[in-house]
């Protein structure tokens, strides 16, 4: 049985946190391990361990009979006894060495060479790793984990697999410690969703709906208590009471808090051991293969991995609802929330893509009615334009006829409407996602996760210099001085500013590169290249900029990770938020600096003939023939679509290359063993380690910024985002199910700081689109011209062109685009237009933000039906934790009579 009270706390403290603990103090209550399928207490293990060679590189205190002994037939992930479940696997590799003449080296029992003189750094390193591994496994035994070892070897390498299992008493103790949710009363699964309801009302068949077998049940739950065990459903069945993901979470908690060296050196936890090379991998097992068995099998008997592959991860299921309950049951709440958000976001992109495509189509159909473009095409040599560079020649405005027509596609009245529409779309999307997130959080028992359960990170606990009392729980916890953390965060912010300065230097370099390419195109003498010089320079510089963006992003992500570790954040959520904030600030400037420059700064500081503005001796850039919006659209297309294509190719190719290398390594070890049948742990070891969700979220959030901040210039952005996300969902699903090792299931209440970033981007998009329409688009100048002079645009092109000053003798009477008089001074129309622009920005922002606040007020964050469910669950939890068991039985009898009104707001098995 588990130790209780102060004895338990003291024992755990000595085993896991004591600086000099070496495992000598063994008690008869400790658990041991399974050797070849039989249980051996830890006190016997200690006696056996004392007789073993402590200097061997791999002296783990578990016997192993190799593959000579016939294993017991088993179905699923079990020890050789066929009954003990495998919850986790630790893997390490030992290279064998052949005897060398004259070197005095002999082979050890584990296949590792031991030299008489082990003064080399590599030998000392291997000895240190073996010592850490031995102490870590020994400390795991004291926590009560059961163990069984397997080996796969050839003449060059031995791969060791240490299988871990948590017995019932360990699971019960840690379930209470981790506040695992326990079932009180079953309730029906309601998978009705908004789109399904609408289609049913319209009597339209729903092709997106699909029945998925083995859907997890839904329960009213409360925090697990060992003393109230008999109050929970299913407590009599010890084999299936705790789910697979709950068992994984318990074992990983033990692995993360187990000491293997000195506490002051933060030598704690399996993650650091993997980083140090002591173990090559640590992972829970997948539940069987994802391919369908060759023999017939009942759908209810299919393993969860196959169900996810067949009904979710295959490309032919791109239009089906996602089985979110199954994803949560297999991968945990954190991964399930990501796919729920991605599916919800993709669904909401559909109306945005439709409206954006219609706006773009309206620009195509009305292109021929654009009066200014017609005047430019028919002007001939009427408008002689001033040279675009110091060594260029004058040119006729009619040469840019094609670009003038193309510019209308991205600068017409429909883009103004689309900007307003996307501002409302972004805020409404976030408001309804809050409702969806609250519903899923309650359904998956994570609504109060952060407030009740999150404890200090193992790395923080190991490196914190002092212990202080927690003001909430009253328990002493590791403590790091706040002043020291703030000083470190300030230093980190200085590093971030330096990196942002590097990004700005690269931006200036790209601008100068664009100017040099333009001059080179003008000097070729080709009329085509001279006309399209600006477009060629913009496209080529955008490709160079994309390469620099991707390179700098990789460098800074690694730097931000080290800075965040150095800042010593207490909880994992605080650590993740700090890391995400650092990386996003940098990536925001990294990705959006060039579009911001084109949208709001390019062409603003050109000057006029005889008084041109310069940068490092080069004339400042002016907007191209079609205006700045078409250049902005070109940049957005190259950066946004190019990044998506590169990311998708990387996500498709890199895991397969890594898996191929891993399988190649494993096949060399298994070569010559024709009769060998691969075990689950061997197959999973050949898969790729799961890299988390950070890159996935970052990619989607940056995409969200592209489709909202600059949507006035690129109405097709939502369409490209929608097409990408359809691919992204199935690509990510296939990675997690087929190519990644199974990650440890993590709990999460929401998508974290990413939601705050999305809100900030949605508000920024309103301001950015207001300035984009006011200062970059020709919408307001045309509107003011029509209002002040005529009700049509005859003569508008001539009105927007100014004459060069009289002292400009290179090309007298040449024209340039500006609202200036003959002396270069701003005209009265310029100041009137500036007033209109500022007034438009103020009116646009106030109207949009007022409507947004109204939407926020009208749409509650938590649905009313969900509030009723929460009250019902709290009532049942209160009854379950009281001594009056009769009250709970009465409440269960009445449970069937309680109406479940959550049908309209919940859609757990869908994509939206």
Q: Find all residues with CB under 8 Å of 351, minimum gap 6, and list them.
A: 425
User: For the CA atoms of the chain, what is the radius of gyration?
Assistant: 33
Euclidean distance between CA atoms 330 and 310, whole angstroms: 14
Q: Find all residues with CB under 8 Å of 557, minimum gap 6, and list them.
A: 583
Q: What pLDDT score does 506 carry?
A: 81
Q: What pLDDT score does 585 carry?
A: 87
Mean pLDDT to the nearest integer, 22-35: 35
pLDDT one-digit tens code per residue, 228-279: 788 888 788 888 889 899 999 999 989 988 888 876 666 778 888 888 889 9
- Closest to 804 measured CA to CA, from 826, 788, 821, 790: 821
Q: Find all residues with CB under 8 Å of 617, minimum gap 6, and list them.
A: none
What sign does the CA torsion over 167, 254, 174, 28 have? positive
Cα 525 → chain centroid: 50
Euclidean distance between CA atoms 65 and 363, whole angstroms: 76
- Name the average pLDDT for the chain: 78
Place of tokens 């002689």: 384
Cα 367 → chain centroid: 41
pLDDT one-digit tens code per residue, 86-126: 999 999 988 876 544 444 444 444 444 444 444 577 788 88
Mean pLDDT to the nearest integer, 736-759: 90
Q: How many CB atoms lie within 10 A of CB 697?
A: 21
Mean pLDDT to the nearest integer, 33-62: 38
Mean pLDDT to the nearest integer, 553-571: 83
pTM above 0.75, yes or no: yes
pLDDT band at 530 (very low <50, low <70, confident <90, very high): low
Contact 740, 285 (CB under 8 A): no
- Closest to 90 measured CA to CA, from 154, 164, 142: 164
pLDDT one-digit tens code per residue, 674-709: 556 778 888 899 898 888 898 899 999 999 999 998
C-alpha atoms less than 13 angstroms from C-alpha of 673 in its C-beta half-sphere: 15
- Is the pLDDT higher at 841 or at 665? 841
Q: What pLDDT score does 474 carry?
A: 67
Listed range (535-539, 555-559, 633-637, 804-808) with the worst mean pLDDT: 535-539
pLDDT band at 72 (very low <50, low <70, confident <90, very high): very low
Q: What pLDDT score does 345 carry?
A: 94
Q: Could you please report the per-residue DSSP string of 286-352? A: PSS-SSPPSS---GGGS-HHHHHIIIIISGGGTTSPP-HHHHHHHH-HHHHHHHHHHHHHHHHHHHH
Euclidean distance between CA atoms 855 and 848, whole angstroms: 11
Q: Find all residues with CB under 8 Å of 25, minimum gap 6, and list them.
A: 14
- Is the pLDDT higher at 724 or at 792? 724
Euclidean distance between CA atoms 681 and 288, whole angstroms: 10
Q: Are strands 181-187 and 218-223 parallel, antiparallel or unpaired?
A: antiparallel
Q: What pLDDT score does 672 carry?
A: 53
pLDDT band at 473 (very low <50, low <70, confident <90, very high): low
Mean pLDDT to the nearest integer, 554-563: 84
pLDDT band at 743 (very low <50, low <70, confident <90, very high): very high
Contact 419, 629 (CB under 8 A): no
Helix (H, G, I), strand (E, B) or coil at 396: strand
Q: What pLDDT score does 2 carry?
A: 37
Q: Could you please report the per-residue DSSP string of 8-49? A: HHHHHHHHHH-TT--S----TTS--EEETTEEE-HHHHHHHH
Report which DSSP code applies to 224: -
Buried b (16+ CB within 10 A) or exposed e, 121-142: eebeebbebbbbbbbbbbbbbb
Euclidean distance between CA atoms 404 and 396, whole angstroms: 13
Contact 586, 469 (CB under 8 A): no
Q: Are strands 476-479 and 607-608 parallel, antiparallel or unpaired?
A: unpaired
Euclidean distance between CA atoms 12 and 258, whole angstroms: 10
Q: What pLDDT score does 6 carry?
A: 38
Q: What pLDDT score does 499 carry?
A: 83
pLDDT tops 70 at residue 890: no
């Amino acid at each position: 049985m588990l130790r209780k009270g102060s004895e338990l706390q003291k024992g755990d403290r000595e085993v896991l946190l004591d600086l000099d603990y070496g495992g000598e103090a063994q008690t008869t209550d400790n658990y041991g391990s399974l050797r070849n399928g039989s249980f051996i207490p830890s006190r016997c293990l200690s006696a056996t361990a004392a007789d073993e060679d402590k200097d061997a590189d791999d002296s783990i205190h578990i016997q192993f009979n190799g593959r000579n002994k016939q294993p017991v037939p088993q179905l699923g992930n079990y020890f050789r006894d066929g009954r003990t479940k495998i919850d986790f696997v630790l893997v390490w590799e030992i290279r064998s060495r052949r005897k060398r003449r004259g070197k005095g080296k002999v082979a050890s029992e584990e296949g590792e060479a031991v030299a008489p003189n082990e003064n080399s750094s590599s030998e000392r390193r291997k000895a240190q790793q073996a010592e850490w591994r031995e102490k870590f496994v020994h400390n795991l035994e004291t926590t009560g984990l059961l163990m069984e070892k397997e080996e796969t070897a050839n003449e060059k390498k031995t791969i060791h697999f240490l299988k871990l299992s948590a017995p019932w008493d360990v699971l019960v103790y840690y379930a209470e410690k981790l506040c695992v949710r326990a079932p009180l009363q079953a309730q029906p699964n309601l998978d009705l969703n908004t789109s399904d309801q609408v289609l049913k009302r319209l009597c339209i068949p729903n092709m997106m709906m699909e029945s998925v077998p083995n859907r997890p049940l839904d329960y009213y739950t409360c925090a697990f208590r060992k003393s109230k065990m008999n109050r929970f459903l299913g407590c009599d069945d010890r084999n299936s009471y705790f789910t697979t993901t709950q068992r994984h979470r318990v074992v990983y908690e033990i692995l993360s808090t187990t000491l293997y060296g000195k506490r002051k050196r933060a030598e704690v936890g399996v993650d650091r051991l993997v980083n140090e090379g002591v173990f090559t991998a640590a992972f829970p097992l997948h539940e069987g293969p994802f391919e369908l068995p060759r023999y017939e099998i009942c759908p209810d008997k299919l393993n969860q991995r196959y169900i996810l592959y067949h009904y979710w991860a295959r490309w032919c299921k791109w239009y089906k609802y996602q089985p979110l309950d199954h994803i949560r049951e297999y991968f945990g709440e954190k991964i399930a929330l990501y796919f729920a958000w991605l599916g919800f976001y993709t669904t909401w992109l559909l109306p945005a893509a439709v409206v954006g495509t219609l706006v773009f189509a309206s620009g195509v159909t009305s292109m021929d009615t654009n009066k200014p473009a017609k005047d430019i095409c028919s002007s001939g040599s009427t408008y002689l334009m001033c040279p675009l560079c110091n060594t260029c020649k004058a040119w006729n405005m009619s040469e840019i006829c094609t670009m003038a027509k193309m510019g209308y596609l991205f600068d017409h009245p429909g883009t103004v409407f689309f900007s307003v529409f996307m501002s409302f779309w972004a805020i409404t999307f976030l408001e309804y996602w809050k409702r969806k997130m609250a519903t899923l959080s309650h359904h998956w028992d994570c609504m109060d996760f952060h407030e009740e359960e999150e404890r200090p990170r193992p790395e923080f606990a190991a490196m914190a210099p002092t212990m202080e009392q927690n003001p909430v729980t009253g328990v002493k916890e590791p403590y790091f001085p706040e002043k020291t953390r703030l000083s470190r965060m300030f230093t980190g912010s200085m590093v971030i500013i330096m990196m942002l300065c590097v990004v700005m230097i690269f931006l200036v370099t790209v601008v100068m590169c664009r100017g040099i390419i333009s001059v080179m195109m003008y000097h070729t003498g080709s009329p085509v290249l001279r006309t399209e010089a600006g477009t060629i320079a913009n496209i080529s510089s955008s490709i160079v900029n994309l390469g620099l963006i991707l390179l700098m992003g990789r460098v800074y992500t690694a730097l931000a990770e080290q800075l965040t570790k150095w800042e010593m954040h207490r909880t994992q959520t605080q650590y993740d938020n700090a890391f995400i904030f650092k990386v996003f600030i940098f990536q925001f400037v990294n990705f959006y600096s060039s579009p911001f420059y084109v949208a709001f700064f390019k062409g603003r500081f050109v000057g006029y003939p005889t008084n041109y503005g310069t940068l490092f001796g080069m004339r400042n850039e002016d907007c191209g023939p079609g205006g700045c919006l078409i250049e902005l659209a070109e940049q957005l297309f190259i950066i946004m679509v190019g990044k998506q294509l590169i990311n998708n190719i990387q996500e498709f190719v890199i895991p397969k290359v890594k898996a191929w290398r891993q399988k190649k390594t494993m096949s060399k070890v298994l070569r010559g063993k024709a009769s060998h049948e691969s075990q689950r742990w061997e197959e999973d070891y050949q898969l790729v380690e799961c890299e988390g969700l950070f890159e996935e979220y970052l990619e989607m959030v940056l995409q969200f910024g592209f489709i909202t901040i600059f949507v006035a210039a690129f109405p097709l952005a939502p369409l490209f985002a929608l097409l990408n996300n359809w691919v992204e969902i199935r690509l990510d699903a296939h990675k997690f199910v087929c190519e990644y090792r199974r990650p440890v299931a993590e709990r999460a209440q929401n998508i974290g700081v990413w939601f705050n970033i999305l809100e900030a981007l949605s508000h920024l998009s309103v301001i950015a689109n207001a300035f984009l329409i006011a200062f970059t688009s020709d919408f307001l100048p045309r509107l003011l011209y029509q209002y002040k002079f005529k009700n049509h645009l005859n003569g508008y092109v001539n009105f927007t062109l100014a004459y060069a000053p009289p002292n400009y003798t290179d090309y007298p009477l040449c024209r340039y685009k500006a609202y200036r008089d003959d002396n270069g001074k701003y005209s009265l129309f310029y100041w009137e237009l500036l007033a209109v622009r500022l007034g438009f920005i103020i009116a646009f922002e106030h109207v949009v933000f007022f409507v947004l606040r109204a939407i926020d007020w009208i749409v509650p964050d938590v649905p009313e039906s969900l509030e009723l469910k929460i009250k019902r669950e709290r009532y049942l939890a209160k009854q379950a934790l009281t001594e009056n068991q009769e009250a709970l039985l009465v409440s269960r009898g009445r449970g069937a009579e309680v109406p479940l009104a959550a049908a309209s707001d919940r859609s757990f098995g869908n994509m939206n």
